Amino acid sequence: MVSTKTPERAHGKMMTGAEIFVRSLVEEGVEVVFGYPGGAVIGIYDALHDITDIRHILTRHEQGATHAAEGYAKASGKPGVVLVTSGPGATNTVTGIADAYMDSIPIVIFTGQVAVKMIGNDAFQEADIVGITRPITKHNFLVKDVRELTRTIKEAFFIATTGRPGPVLVDLPKDVMAQKTLFEYPKSVELRGYQPVVEGNAKQVKKAAELISKAKRPVLYVGGGVINSNAARELQILAEKLRCPVTTTLHGLGAFPEGNALSMGMLGMHGTWYSNVAVSYCDVLIAIGARFDDRVTGKVEAFAVEAKKVHIDIDPAAISKNVPVDVPIVGDVKHVLRALTELVEPLDTADWLATIAQWKAEHPLRYKHDDSLRAQHVIQALGDLTSGDAVVVTDVGQHQMWAAQFYRWKHPRSHITSGGLGTMGFSLPASMGAAFANPKHPVVSISGDGGFQMNSQELATIVQHQLPIKIFVINNGFLGMVRQWQELFWRKRYSHVDITAPDFVKLAEAYGCKALRVAAPSEVENAIQTALEYHEGPILIEFVVAREDNVYPMIPAGQTINELMDNPDPVLPSGNGSSTKSHTMVHVKG
C-alpha cells in the first residue's frame, strides 16, 4: 500500500484523469468516500486500489452512499463525498441529493459517465445526470476535457461548502478519466457572480439592535444555519445577554441547550405548546439561520402577526421568501451574531419569562403511561442514560417527532435527520456516516419499522466495518404518521398503512449483528444500557410499541395556533410539569 499524500514533486507530472481525481481529493483533505463501483468508474477505482490516505466505504446501495455522506457532513462539518458509476448508479443517488439540497448539507457527488462522444446516443448505462439533478443541486458540472478536471473539483468543493451549503455534482466521462495531462491543483477559486456575503451590513445590524431594544416579548427563532455556521456559542451569549427565550426548528435542535431556562424546545407543527404560543404573542421575532418553512409557520398570514421580524441568513434568496420581514440581514450567522451582541443591551423580560414558565408548567410535553410500551418512553430513557451526549440519527415519521420533543438536546451536530424532503430510509445509512465522522461518540440510529426496511441492506456495511452503532427500530406495525393523519383527518379510514415487517432480530442476526427485542416498559432502561455498553460492533434493539399512538401537540397542516391540538388522553406529565389537564383543542386569541 502506498500513500497518496501529494508531495510538491507530484505537481507537473503527467497523470491520467483517474490518478488526477484521486490526488485532487487528497488535496481537498478528503478522508472518507462512500461509493459503489461500475464500468464507467473502473479506472478511478483502480487508482484508489493502493492508497491509504482515503478510506473508501463500499455501501450496498447508492442511495445509502449519499445518505452516509450526509450523515458524515452533518456530524463533522466537513463535506461528504460520494463516488458512483453511470446510469442507474447515478440515478440511485437522486433522492439523497434532493435531501441534501433541501437541508443545506455540503456533499460532493462524483458520477461516472459514458465517453464524451457517446453522450446523447442512449449508450449502455447512460443517463443525463446533469440534467436530472440540475433542480436539486447547488451546481453541477460535466467534465469534457481532462485539463478542466482539477479546476472543476476545486470549484465543486468550494461551492458546496461556502454560502448556504449544498450538494454539487461532477459528472466524469470514462474517456476523460483515461486521458493524460500535467497535474497542477489550484490553490484558490474565483467564480464570477458567486461571492457569498459573510459580514452583515453594519447599518442593518444597527437597525436590528434598535428594534430589539424596544422589545417586551422577544423570541429568538433558530434554525440549522446556526449549526452550519458553528455559531452555537455566539447564540447562547446573545440569548443570555438579552434574557430572551429561544425556540428552534427541527434542524436547529442542539444549537441551544434545552437544559437552559431560556429554551422552549422546538416550534412548529409538532413543537411544544408554549413555543408556538410564545411566537404567536411575541412583539419581536429574531429569525437566525431559519427559512420560515411551512412546518413552522402553518398559515403564513396568521404567523406571528404581532411581531416585528428580523431575519439573519447567509442566503439572500431566503430573506422574505415565505414571510415578509422588517429588518433583513444577509451574512454568516456567526459574524452577524457577534456584531449584534456588541450593540444590544439586556432587556427587561422578567414578566415575559414568567409567563412562559407558567405555560411550561401548565402544558408540558406528556404521554400516556399504561402497560403498553411507548416510543416516548424509549426516547426519554435514551436521553437520560446518555445525558444528551450521543449523536442521534432519526428516520422520518412519528419517532422522529418524539425524538425531537423528548430527547433534551444540548450539543450542536448531535441531532441528524431528514427535514425538508422527509426521506424514509435516511437514518441507517446516515448513522453510518456519522459513525465514521465521530468514532469516539456513541451513535444511535432510530427508525420506524417502515423506514428501516427501505435501506436495511446497509446493515451489511455497518457489520463489515464493525461500527458500534446502536440501532433502535420502533415497531408499531403501521406507517405511523400516515395512520395518525388518517385517524384525525380521514375518518380512521386506514388505507394501506398496516405494514408487514420481517423478524427484525433474525434479520439483524443474519447480517451478523447482535440483536434483541423489547416489548415491556420495565425492560427499556436495561436494554438501552446494554446497547450503550456494547462496543464490539453494532447492536439492534426492536422496541414493540403501542400500535395506535399519536404525536401531540399538533397544528394541522396549513392551519394556525388557534387549531393547535394537544394530547386528549388522560396522561401523566413527563419532565418537570405538574399538569394532568387534557386539551383536545386549544384556542388562543391575541
Residues involved in catalysis: 62, 124-125, 174, 481
Q: Rounded CA gap, 475 and 542, in Å? A: 7
Contact assessment for residue 210 and residue 185, using Cβ atoms and an 8 Å cutoff? no
Query: Concatenated DSSP letters for 88-156?
Result: HHHHTTHHHHHHHHHTT--EEEEEEE--GGGTTTT-TT---HHHHHGGGSSEEEE--SGGGHHHHHHHH
- Would you call 558 helix, strand, or coil by DSSP? coil
Q: CB under 8 Å to 452, separation ≥6 — which residues?
A: 395, 425, 427, 428, 473, 504
In angstroms, what is the C-alpha Rg of the chain? Answer: 25
**What is the grid cell recorded at 74?**
452533518
Beta strands 327-330 and 308-313 are: parallel
CA-wise closest residue to 166 among 446, 415, 420, 443: 420
Report how far Cα 56 is from the mean position of its chain's Cα atoms. 23
Phi, psi at 348, each rounded to 5°: -90, 90
Q: Rounded CA gap, 285 and 290, in Å? A: 12
Contact assessment for residue 252 and residue 226, using Cβ atoms and an 8 Å cutoff? yes
CA-CA-CA-CA dihedral for 97, 103, 105, 111, to nearest 10: 0
Contact assessment for residue 488 and residue 548, using Cβ atoms and an 8 Å cutoff? no
CA end-to-end span of the chain? 69
**What is the grid cell recorded at 264?**
422552549
